Structure 1
Amino acid sequence: MQTGPGQATGPEKKDAARHTGIVTQLEKDMPIERLEKLFNPRRIAVVGASEGTATMGEAVMRHLVQGGFAGEIYPVNEDGANKNAARIMGLPAFPALTAIGTTVDLVAIAAPMAAVPAIVSQCSEIQAAGAVILSTGWTKGSKAHRQAERRVQAISRETGLRIIGPCALGMICTAARLNASLTPHLPAAGRLAFVSQSGAIGAAILDFALRERIGFSHFVSLGAMLDVDFGDMIDYLGSDPHVGSIVMYVENLVRHHNFMSAARSVSRIKPIIALKAGRSRAGAIAAASHTGSLAGEDAVYEAAFQRAGIVRVKTFEELFDTAEILSRKCRFRGSGLAVVTNAGGPGVMAADALSDYGLEPVLLSPDTIRALDEVLPDDWNRGNPIDMLGDATPERYRCVITTLSQAREVQALLIMLAPQTLVDGEAVARTIADQCHEHGKPVIASWLGGRDADQGREILNQAGIATFDTPERAVRAFMNLYRHSRGIEMLQQLPSRSSARIQVDPQIAGHWIEAALHTPSGRMTLDEANALLAAYGIPVIPTRIARSADAAAALAQEIGYPVVMKILSRDILHKSDVGGVQRDLGSEAAVRDGFTSMLDRAAMAAPHARIDGVALQPMITAPECELIMGAKMDPDFGPVILFGMGGILAELLNDRAIALPPLNRLLAGQLMEGTRVDRFLKGYRGQLPADRDQIAEILIRISQLVTDFPQIAELDINPLMVKNGRPLAVDARIIVKPTSQKAPLHLSVSPYPAQYESRLELPELGELRIRPIRPEDAELLLELFKTLSPRSVYYRFFSPMKEMSTAMLARFTQIDYDREIALAAIHEVESHEKIVGVARVILQHNLRDSEFSVLIGDPWHGMGIGAHLLATCIDIARDRGFGSIWGMVLAENRGMLAMGRKLNFKIKGSAHSGEFELRLDLTTSRQPRSQLATPA
């Protein structure tokens, strides 16, 4: 059997132009491909167009004409039939969209807001691809506002009409010379796309870009986001080969699951930088538990952006600076920054700025220092920052830059100039501008000073070199791009192979959750919470319940002294607040007295609370560490997981990190490393290290619990004590709430789809397990690759690959289960797993069509494994509503061609061309699923 289709532009080798994407929860009638017609239209209609009046319609018309749009423009004005308004800016005017008599791609609506729903209806009548609504005027929240929004959204969803806005500043595509916006100037062409929720912020960015000569590919003001949102734009811009990076100003998100899916896919190939406004609102969020208060709204956005590979900036200035450095095509692949300066002070400032991020200027090699000795004065500092002294000439700059560009340890250069009497800043700038394009290392500049430095900055800007007025701003911009590259490296790390999947008991857990849902508060008592955690394999301290002083004394005797006593009440969430915890009770008398006094204190502090007795636990003395773990249901992103330092000081110390589920061991480890307490867990100053693997497993089990049960609103394990290196949950609070959401649709990141697991019986091998591929399968996939002959490799990848890179292994195993179907056939021999074949189907950027590939190891050719895997993938794709599936096959790959015929693919091409295209329409009648497979 062959290894299946593959080509240089196959799923794993696509460039940005072939970015793929869809999610299962996406409305399938909102096609992304229609956005292509919006940004590259042939015909545009402007509703509300006018001439000689200060209106939005006049501004849009003027900007379209002056911008040089080469397509057809149709002014639409209700007075268009009148003689005086028969032509607008020399173009025939029409009284309505339906009077144009031809289909238009984009409609710019600048009419009064009250007329917008009717105009949108006309857009659908003329089969427009979409509309940008610049109109304002609705009073937000008013009845008219809500009715108009519902009508516009209904038309959009019924017809597939894409809507940008309302209350949008407009949209720009420089490649199409399209300026359908209220901003007067078409920016220079570039590879930077800017998407803003705020029109004012967008206008400011564009104005800044003109001064700094920053080029843009696209500018989009999303406005109210009735339809097109950030996720749509990321998907579209990710597939556009003219876009190199994406910068966003975000106030809030909609369709968070779609946003996360799009961003996780695109950020691997293009930097995404976001300024999220509203950071201070996190402090105003009320929460019932420690986890809820520590995992506020802003922290959740931070975790979501990190999981999606988005670099977050915090200030308007930082957004400007990042936009500038991205526009210069800078890509930083390492932290090796060489700082070149003609004064010591700025060099120290740059080094201090790097130190704030935990980095230092790169250590220069002896060879580099010797080379610099040849071109610098004898008294230079012989280190980095490289101080060329105050009399540095343009020639000295040139020689130093040449030397550093050849140094292997240097990945980027920061070139600075401070005003000096003996230095010609303009001449130095011209030298740098002429030289920096001769080598491939990215260069940023910092030209210090005021008006005297302006001409030098202008020269550098014209040369396409990102230039800043202070060392700190230059370093910060460098770090944002470096953070992106590091973030992608972390996303592509390969988790270690775990020996077995965790075992849980969702039936028992469901019982306790259902019981709590029938209580007025939805709060579990300590014993109920412990039972729920134990059902998911989380180690909990033995807990006994007593409802009288006699019972408490008897149980304490059985447990063994000393014991801890805790009040038992679902109406009291924080037991310590009402004196509901007593520790180190060492005798029967202490237990009896403690029972009575505790109930008395609780009754006084919480007179309306129902007291069900007390919980008794063995006393853990002198634990090495106290941790907090928990989960909170965020209203936007779904459940989030928290980890940090625990105990009564958890909120005060605020040493915590959060992440989005699902978690694997790698992600759990990264979550732990985001806290200071993790240094202690690794072993600090003679302290024995804790069992970090078991702590990570508890995080994974919590992740699985909140993945399986969307009813869990808050889960708080505090403290989770570490004693002799082993973690143990000592106290837990869990709150459940009814929800209409079904698992796993409440998650913003899709979990492993266990429903696609099955088994296949083969005469030659026996039983194979068919399951979706997991990140932990990277090692097994590498072993599969080693079984391939050179011809099999060429058939699959269309190139003579000798090995699979780490990035490729990550690409093949760390998949978005919304956007890709990847099934592996697993053969188990004496508890050792071996992947014998993989088939995958990946959605393309139009969110409808998909591409397939099959890879079968050479020892297992001819057994029907590839056909079964691909047929199963096709069934899943059809169930998800994919439109078609295709792949390219080499003419000599006869086995794959035979498989295609067997599965009813249409085959086009010829042996003469060397390739065949296999295509299958998934909207036709269903192919029968293989009868060999059985559910797992």
Structure 2
Amino acid sequence: MSKTLMQTTDPAHDVLRYERQPLDAIFAPKNVAVIGATEKAGSVGRTLLWNLISNPFGGTVFPVNPKRPSVLGIKAYPSIAAVPETVDLAVVVTPAPTVPGVIGECVAAGVKGAIIISAGFREVGEQGIQLEQDVLKQARQGRMRIIGPNCLGVMSPVSGLNATFASAMARPGNVGFISQSGALCTSILDWSFRENVGFSAFMSIGSMLDVNWGDLIYYLGDDPATHSIVIYMESIGNARSFLSAAREVALTKPIIVIKAGRTEAAAAAAASHTGALTGSDEVLEAAFRRCGVLRVNMIDDLFNMAEVLAKAPRPKGKRLTIITNAGGPGVLATDALISEGGELAPLSPQTMEELNQLLPTHWSHSNPIDVLGDADPNRYAKACEIALKNPESDGLLAILTPQAMTDPIQTAKQFVERLQGSTLPAKPILASWMGGAEVAGGEAMLNEARIFTLPFPDTAARVFNYMWRYAYNLRGIYETPVLEGGADEKAPDRVRATEIIQSIRASGRTLLSEFESKQLLKAYGIPTVETHIAQSEAEAVQLAQEMGYPVVLKLYSETITHKTDVGGVKLNLADADDVRKAYQAIESAVLLKAGAEHFLGVTVQRMLKLDGYELILGSSPDPQFGPVLLFGTGGQLVEVFKDRALGLPPLNTTLARRMMEQTKIYTALKGVRGRAPVDLAMLEQLLIQFSQLVVEQRWIKEIDINPLLASADGLMALDARVVLHSLDVPEDKLPQAAIRPYPIQYVSDWTMKNGTSIKIRPIRPEDEPLVVKFHENLSEESIYSRYFHLMKLQTRVAHDRLSRICFIDYDRELALVADYKDPATGEHHLLGFGRLSKLHGRDEAEFSMLIGDRFQCKGLGTEFLRRLIEIAKDEQLQYITAEILSENRAMQHVCQKLGFRLEPTSEPSIMKVVYELR
């Protein structure tokens, strides 16, 4: 019997849904208690109670007020304990000092969710922060989830729940809206009525004491009524949680964010408003790119993009075709397109020929395609059809202005008919029917056909630019990276790197010398120029003669970090006399500007021929996202040019290339004016190795390679600077990477029962080709046991599916693979998988397993499961569960042997296994 099993998320197997979705207690409660309900006119307590009872959500509302027998004609209760039923959701509107006690009472009464409307917490200072901690301590005792404090509340327009003190109920729709600002919520609500925008969820979350962005994104990602997620953000909160959730959900549902605090002044205002830290805006941009979130700058764009991304296919590139019946609007659209990074699509020879046959002699003969003001509906619609077939184009913007010969309705009608009656390639189509009431009929017809319309062509061009950027970032997340060499051929010397860092700390220092910094880089395979230390003139001369002239002398110091600031660098020294003079000059300059204790000698290195480009590669910590990588133009003028890109570690080949592409120097690196290109694949690998160093050696606070010389001959770190965190920082307080790095602690060798040596390790994105080979050799029995139904090979190895299996978020799931290296060929083969996936919002995970047919009954399944249990303990989970076919006795036996208990399910053919870790 095949040792395989299946994880399931079928809600039919749940006893209580919010055991799987704890936030259902807040968003889909069976009953609600309003603690602080009152009849006082204009009060929050009254408005909230009225909103709940006047918008039926299918449940019961219990006012809680110790001073009144009833509120608004409804029986009131003196406390939550007195309510005769178990309450799902408590909405708290009492003064801030009373809230910890109220939450404690709710926990004792079994309440699973709370919305704290009350203000007076972290936004008022230290006293408020302490109140929040008291609230959280109470909530944790009962696993209660909390929205707020200091928020407007939550609406679920689809179900009718209105647990807010807003003046009206939002219209039902398919946009999930989350805001940190309650005031902005009310403005958006008013705007939505004018624009007829509907919502699947509408929530104000305040200071995010408990429920954070990640929780809400996961929840809306699982909600079938939500098609897109729109966010107004002031602070990121738990960065790792946000990035983890956004990266998973963004692939299926667009996430559009407007983030306050782009400028320093705005950031300071947002921080004072929410009481939260605000990091660098550039870093936030990098984080959004990394997880596939689209950032916009205007509220109008927020909802435009929510609608268009839910309606239209994603563009494959940035090339737009513009069709217009008037020159001016086409020019405006072109300016908007190109100024924000888009491009005009070239017209292919076939497209040009067809347009010449269709259009009058004086048409524009280029993109924008001006079909002229006398274009009738047929000419206009046919031109659009031709343009959409152009293989050089990634999207179409159709602009129509009312002129004497223009018929907006018929033009729209023929345009739609041609689209519906053809097999045109899937490309986004935008339309700008200009003219207000005069073109309203045609505009309505386009909207009905799911063609997104905008009143002005420059706005439409901006929307297209957002679209291709969004698609580009999403592709970067799940594009299969390249693995240079095998699985472990380029493993860094982590032991040596750790020894260097620990010796520096033991000496009481946090600044590494240049020599020590280069030794650290070498441990991670980063090429450095040969460097030796000289502590006298004579030693410097001897080293120079052994290396060969010309040479470079640099200050050797354990305290001075920027050598050029004190005259500590002397270049192009041609003979022994030059070396002596340089040594003396460096020593004299340091004595004068810093003091004798800062001079320990010099380093001597060959003067390399600088026939290449000076780059900079560095990292420094961000208060919210931890270590951040920097790549760009280096050298002495690095601060002048400011040609740089930021990214979050760790990197792979795809992400490294994306960082490089964001810089201006990248164009030169590809080869310009007859110069040979730099080996970009080698540069990618260097960036990856550097990012490994940053995330694995957590004592590093700042690190720079400047310059990193890049030429057709290779790459070389000419100078390096490393600063460690302060000696008084405990290890558990060191910043952690916002994206969890590859968990090297789970890599180890193991021997199967038949004596075959393998390596068990976490899966990597680069494993996708190996996973394809693995699936090619699976039997139907193994496939059925794993998936509970047969699945075609083509479906199992589709890139969209495998990218999710291989390119995982190690903070949310961990998949182990059995990696066998054939000693004869050196090729790697995957023999099986074991996966542990955390359930959203719970300290529980499901596991699954799939072992290749030839390697079953070799002990591999048992070893996988044993390791997954240990990982679950490391992750402080409470339960591991899975569902197994009842006929799969072998897998059930393995589970029972390791301490799982078997439980029946409502489906006789399926057994559930449960392991309790504490």
Specify which of 141, 157, 160 is matched with residue 143 of structure 2: 160
Contact 1:303 1:658 in 2 (8 A): yes
How far does the alpha carbon of each residue in 1:41-82 deviate from its partner, in whole angstroms, 9 at most, with x for none? 12122233334612222332333344343322223345423x
Residue pair 2:121, 2:129 contacting (<8 A) in 1 also: no
Give 1:751's aligned residue: 741
Alignment of 1:873-888 (within 5 A): 873-888=868-883
The 3-state SS of whatever aligns with 1:487 is helix
Q: Assess if the C-alpha contact under 8 Å between 1:3 and 1:857 holds in 2.
A: no
Match of 2:578 among 590, 594, 598: 590
TM-superposition CA deviations, 1:85-119 (whole Å, max 9, x none): x331x433334433333222222223333433333
Q: Secondary structure at the match of 1:863?
A: coil
Cα distance between partner residues in 2 of 1:718 and 1:411:
39
Q: Which amino acid aligns with 1:305?
A: F
Partner of 1:619: 607
SS in 2 for 1:140: helix
Aligned in 2, Cα 1:438/1:99: closer, same or farther, shift over 3 Å? farther
* Aligned with residue 850 of structure 2, among 842, 850, 855: 855
Cα deviation digits, residues 390-425 of structure 1 (max 9, x gap) = 355667666666777888887755343324355455
Shift of 1:641: 1.9
Whole-angstrom CA distance in 2 between matches of 1:283 and 1:203:
21
Residue 44 of structure 1 aligns with which residue? 32
Q: Name the CA distance, whole Å, in 2 between partners of 1:371 and 1:893.
A: 62
How far apart are the structure 1 equivalents of 2:842 and 2:545?
Answer: 65
CA pair 139-813 structure 1, distance change in 2 beyond 3 A: closer
1:778 is aligned to 768
Judged with a 3 Å threshold, the aligned counterparts in structure 2 of structure 1 residues 367 and 799 are, in CA distance, closer, same or farther, namely: farther
* Contact map agreement 1:878 1:923 (CA 8 A) in 2: no
- Confirm or deny that 1:281 pairs with 2:264: yes
Matched residue SS, 2:828: strand
Match of 2:199 in 1: 216
Alpha-carbon spacing, 1:95–1:715, altered in 2? closer, same or farther (3 Å): same
1:554 matched to 2:542? The reply is yes
Deviation at 1:40, TM superposition (A): 0.8
Match of 1:493 among 457, 460, 479: 479
Given the superposition, is the C-alpha separation of residues 54 and 687 from structure 1 closer, same or farther in structure 2, using an over 3 Å criterion? same
Asked if the contact 1:67/1:185 (under 8 Å) is kept, the reply is no
- For residues 114 and 431 of structure 1, do their structure 2 counterparts lie closer, same or farther at Cα, with a shift above 3 Å needed? farther
Aligned residue among 462, 484, 491 for 2:470: 484
Distance in 2, Cα, partners of 1:135 & 1:438: 57
Q: Secondary structure at the match of 1:34?
A: coil
Query: When the two structures are aligned, how many residues end up with a matched partner?
Result: 891
Find the partner of 2:798 among 798, 805, 808. Answer: 805
Distance 2:470 2:666 in 1: 24
- Counterpart contact for 1:708–1:744, Cα < 8 Å: no
Looking at structure 1, the residues matched to 878 and 456 of structure 2 have their Cα atoms a distance apart, in angstroms, of 53
Q: Corresponding residue for 1:445?
A: 431
Q: Is the 8 A contact 1:77 1:96 kept in 2?
A: yes
**2:834 corresponds to which residue?**
839
More RCO (CA 8 Å, sep 6+): 1
Deviation string, structure 1 residues 534-573 (Cα, Å, up to 9, x no partner): 2333222222323333433333333322221222233322
User: In structure 2, do the counterparts of structure 1 residues 56 and 438 end up closer, same or farther at CA, with 3 Å as the change threshold?
Assistant: farther
TM-superposed deviation, 1:744: 9.3
Give the corresponding residue for 1:390. Answer: 373
CA contact (8 A) 1:331 1:481 kept: no
Per-residue deviation at 1:923? 0.7
Superposition pairs of residues 662-677 of structure 1, within 5 angstroms: 662-677=650-665
Change in 2 beyond 3 A, CA 1:487/1:91: same
Q: 1:126 aligns with which of 109, 118, 131?
A: 109
Summarize deviations over 1:150-200 as a string: whole Å, max 9, x none.
211222223222221122122111222122223323222222212122223
1:282–1:645: structure 2 CA closer, same or farther, 3 Å change rule? Answer: farther
Which of 788, 802, 807 is the matching residue for 1:814? 807
- Structure 1: unaligned runs, 5 residues or longer: 21-29, 286-294, 926-936
User: Who is 1:604 aligned against?
Assistant: 592
Equivalence for 1:298: 281
Q: Percent identity?
A: 37
Distance 1:749 1:547 in 2: 43
Partner of 1:310: 293
Q: Gapped runs of 5+ residues in structure 2? A: 269-277
Q: Which aligned pairs between 1:335-484 and structure 2 lie closer than 5 A?
A: 335=317, 339-360=322-343, 385-391=368-374, 413-423=396-406, 425=408, 443-449=429-435, 466-484=452-470
User: Aligned partners of 2:200, 2:391: CA distance in 1, in Å?
Assistant: 33
**Deviations 1:460-510, CA, capped at 9 Å, x for gaps:** 668865432222222222332333332222221112233243233333323
Partners of 1:495 and 1:666 within 8 A in 2: yes
- The CA distance in 1 between the partners of 2:165 and 2:902, in whole Å, is 49
SS in structure 1 of the partner of residue 916 of structure 2 = coil
Return the offset for 1:268.
2.5
**1:622 Cα offset (Å):** 2.8
1:695 matched to which residue of 2? 683
CA separation of 1:209/1:342 partners in 2, compared to 1, >3 Å: closer, same or farther? Answer: farther
Cα distance in 1, alignment partners of residues 521 and 718 from structure 2:
11
Letter in 1 for 2:71: R
Using the size of structure 2 for normalisation, the TM-score is: 0.87
Deviations 1:409-447 (A, max 9, x none): 877553433243554557767887999888987543324
1:658 aligns with 2:646: yes
Q: Is 1:922 aligned with 2:909? A: no
Note if contact 1:689-1:725 (Cα within 8 Å) is conserved in structure 2.
no
Q: CA deviation at 1:217?
A: 1.0
AA in 1 matched with 2:759? R
Q: 1:607 to 1:871 in 2, by over 3 A?
A: closer
CA contact (8 A) 2:554 2:563 kept: yes
Residue type at the aligned position of 1:536: Y
Change (3 A) 1:31 1:152: farther
Q: Give the SS at the match of 2:192.
A: helix
CA–CA separation in structure 1 for the residues paired with 2:694 and 2:46: 54
Which amino acid counterpart does residue 906 of structure 1 have in structure 2?
Answer: L
Give the Cα–Cα distance (whole angstroms) in 2 for the partners of residues 432 and 93 of structure 1.
61
1:725 pairs with 2:713: yes
Q: Select which of 305, 309, 312 maps to 1:330.
A: 312
Per-residue CA deviations over 1:293-332 (Å, capped at 9, x if unaligned) read xx98222212222222222223444324323434x53342
What do residues 574-621 of structure 1 show as CA deviations (whole Å, max 9, x unaligned)? 221222211112222222222222233333333587222222222112
1:116 pairs with one of 74, 87, 99: 99
Aligned to 1:72: 60
Distance 1:445 1:142, change over 3 A: same
SS of equivalent residue, structure 1 residue 644: strand
Flag the 1:888–1:459 CA change in 2: closer, same or farther, 3 A: same
Q: Which residue of 2 aligns with 1:931?
A: none
Structure 1 residues 898 and 375: CA distance shift in structure 2, 3 A: farther
Q: Tell me the C-alpha RMSD between the 2 structures.
A: 3.7
Which is further off, 771-780 or 849-858? 849-858
CA distance in 2, matches of 1:432, 1:104: 55
2:902 partner amino acid:
K
Q: Deviations over 1:260-296 (max 9, x none)?
A: 22222222222222222223339999xxxxxxxxx98
Asked if the contact 1:74/1:92 (under 8 Å) is kept, the reply is: yes
Deviations 1:235-280 (A, max 9, x none): 2222222222222222222222222222222222222222222233
1:933 match? none
Output one character per residue of 1:108-141: Cα deviation in whole Å (capped at 9) or x when no partner: 2233334333333333232222222222245835
Query: TM-score normalized by structure 1?
Result: 0.86
Is 521-530 or 371-380 further displaced after alignment?
Answer: 371-380
